[in-house]
Amino acid sequence: MRVKGDKTPALDAEQMRLHFASFDLTRPIDLRDRALIAIMAYSLARVSAAVAMRAEDFIDLGRTQMIRLHEKGGVQRDIPAHPRLVECLDAWLAVAALRPSGWLFPAFDARGTVPSSRPMTRGDALRMVKRRLLRAGIPPVFSNHSFRATGITEFLANGGSLEVAQQLANHADSRTTKL
């Protein structure tokens, strides 16, 4: 585990591998959860923007795929989708049978078998993240925001510029991104 400053803890690369490997890819709810976590980690999306996505917000332009985020302050951003994110979204959409205007991440019933017509909330996403971390054998000290922090940390550690990270994260001030 890496902690960025005194703020949100970020997962390290091995924890992310363990986490993604812990999903049962035969279960629709696991495919949904993996896709939601991938949105937060690979697009640096805030959880509120991720759970507010509609199926039509995953845009296939042929050789390029984009995601449309509706962020705080009414900001709408179209950003290129990382290939790993595309893989996770494609797997979820292949089993989800969502209407284009339907929620990309619907809540499921208590047994985790039937998607509902309501979207996941931030609280639903947090409970899911904590449950998934425990299942992967990772301490549940992380939160929804940890996946965003992990994405920013990995982007910068792999040579990405602070300015681009700030833009991708939709931070108004680069000091927030530096944390």
User: What's the confidence (pLDDT) of residue 151?
Assistant: 78
Token pair recorded at residue 175: 């000091």
pLDDT band for position 74 (50/70/90)?
confident
User: What's the confidence (pLDDT) of residue 88?
Assistant: 97
Q: Which residues contact 178 (CB under 8 A, 6 or more apart)?
A: 5, 162
CA distance 92 to 87: 9
pLDDT band for position 162 (50/70/90)?
low
User: What's the confidence (pLDDT) of residue 4?
Assistant: 46
User: What's the confidence (pLDDT) of residue 3?
Assistant: 45
User: What's the confidence (pLDDT) of residue 75?
Assistant: 82
Sheet harboring 58-60: ordered strands across? 58-60, 65-70, 76-80
**Model confidence pLDDT, tens digit, residues 29-58:** 999 999 999 999 998 888 999 999 999 999
Amino acid at 41: A
User: What's the confidence (pLDDT) of residue 176?
Assistant: 60
**Model confidence pLDDT, tens digit, residues 114-148:** 788 889 999 999 999 999 999 999 988 998 888 88
